[in-house]
Amino acid sequence: MKSLRFGLTFLWASAISLRAAAPLPSLVDYAAQHTDGRVAFAFNTSAYQGDLSSLPIGVFDSGIGGLTVLEAIYQLDAFNNETHAPGPDGKPDFEHEHFIYFGDQANMPYGNYPSSGKTEYLRELIIKDVTFMLGQRAWPARSDAAEFTKPPVKAIVIACNTATAYGLADVRAAIERWHVPVFVVGVVEAGARGVAPVAAGIAPQSVAVFATVGTCASEAYPRAIEAHLRETGQLGRPVIQEGSPKLAGAIEGDPTCLLPGLTPRESVNKIVHDEIATLVEAHRQSGSAAPIGSIVLGCTHYPLVQDEIARAFADLRQSDARYRPLIAEKMEFVNPAELTAKELYQRLTETKRFLRPGATPAVAHDLFYVSVANPKSPTAKLDAAGALETTYKYGRAPGGFEVEDTKGVPMQLAELPPSSANLIREKLPAVARHLQP
């Protein structure tokens, strides 16, 4: 993918309010008109009265990438659980909380909708994810009828950079319009806060953002990084970007994103290597002398292949003398997940939303869902594997909420493609434990 480059960026507006939440087409109104939540893309508003603290927390992504954020949430110990003051206490910070995860796998990759001219449809998909999180409607595995057994959520983490870049402002506006007292945390601002300031007396190194094509095109990261550095009175740093159209899908084992003749693992390795080579070559051609010192993993799938990314930079540095001065010997990896987890903790503290001592949680254990194509849909075109056909997927237009071409069903580790199930087992141990208790 041709590198999307921005050089040193300047900021006028505050970071993620980049999209002025222009009113979304009718989906927000549609949900507001179906307050009993008996139909798809709506939710029961009466669930949002009174004390919400016993409800679980919702986390969503376009696929399994958001599980890297959930892993960071499970692992976080940055606060005292009694006083909520910063500082570890040897106990997981969310030890009494429960989570509902949703991966909109049937509609991914999200990162390719903007370049297909489908940004409005992507914005609608993100609001649909939110109605799923807020609602009680889900499809049991192998059933032809939705049930109303999924608990609503008390907070939402958008564990997807693309969805944060294109949908955070919409989601906040929709939630306000629906009068739902749920707060929303996104990943991009957290990722930007992870970029270290320039040390005094040191020439600034470049920051590389590796993300989806859509996230790069939104410029959310260059803006947010610049805003963060300015707010803290720091010097700007040159920001360069690389957007991959295939990497997230290849990590998921999506056959349409794998390279011909290669296994999922080989495909991932080659895509990573080629994208990083493109990024570094574009940096060289720009004439910049600022070596790449930090890389922001600007897609929640990418921490799953951080080792491969590090190897690609190291190989280029070693194999080509032209690149050596352009790649810092020690590179800082910025994964927005941990900072997102900290922000979630702080917001729960501020809103007094932690499960109250002695209270019974609304669910006994964490629940995981994915979307799959709905074979009963009158409009959906499915491929031989039963997934939405690519041309159908990227050809849809907003509206038509009576048509449910995908449905949210329980996620089973054993039913994910083996390559992605193995990544979860290897890299996300806490998630794997919760997924198969």
**Any contact of residue 101 with ligand DGL (CB under 6 A)?**
no
Nearer to ligand DGL, 293 or 336 (CB): 336
Cis peptide before 109 (omega within 30 of 0): yes
Confirm if 256 and 106 have CB atoms less than 8 A apart. Answer: no
| Options 9, 241, 300, 335; binder of ligand DGL; rule CB under 6 A | 300
As a whole number of angstroms, the distance between CA 61 and CA 420 comes to 15
Q: Which stretch binds ligand DGL (CB under 6 A): 92-100, 131-139, 160-168, 368-376?
A: 160-168
Nearer to ligand DGL, 42 or 248 (CB): 248
The DSSP result for 119-152, as a single string, is HHHHHHHHHHHHHHHHS--BPPTT-SS-BS-SPP
**Any contact of residue 28 with ligand DGL (CB under 6 A)?**
no
| Options 109, 167, 186, 204; binder of ligand DGL; rule CB under 6 A | 109
The DSSP result for 157-179, as a single string, is EE--HHHHHHHHHHHHHHHHHTT
**Any contact of residue 161 with ligand DGL (CB under 6 A)?**
yes
| Options 58, 111, 243, 293; binder of ligand DGL; rule CB under 6 A | 111
**Any contact of residue 160 with ligand DGL (CB under 6 A)?**
yes
Angle at 65 between CA 361 and CA 70, to 5 degrees: 30
Nearer to ligand DGL, 151 or 191 (CB): 191
Tokens representing 304 are 């799953």
Q: In what order do the strands lie in the sheet with 206-212?
A: 4-5, 239-244, 206-212, 292-297, 327-334
**Any contact of residue 68 with ligand DGL (CB under 6 A)?**
no
Residue 291, sorted as left (phi over 0), alpha (psi -120 to 50) or beta, turns out to be beta
All residues at 6 or more sequence positions from 386 whose CB lies less than 8 Å from its CB, including other chains: 372, 373, 375
**Any contact of residue 114 with ligand DGL (CB under 6 A)?**
no
Q: Which stretch binds ligand DGL (CB under 6 A): 105-113, 190-198, 254-262, 357-365?
A: 105-113
Number of residues that bind ligand DGL (CB under 6 A): 17
Nearer to ligand DGL, 186 or 238 (CB): 186
Where do contacts with ligand DGL occur on this chain (CB under 6 A)? 61-63, 65, 108-111, 160-162, 212, 215, 248, 299-301
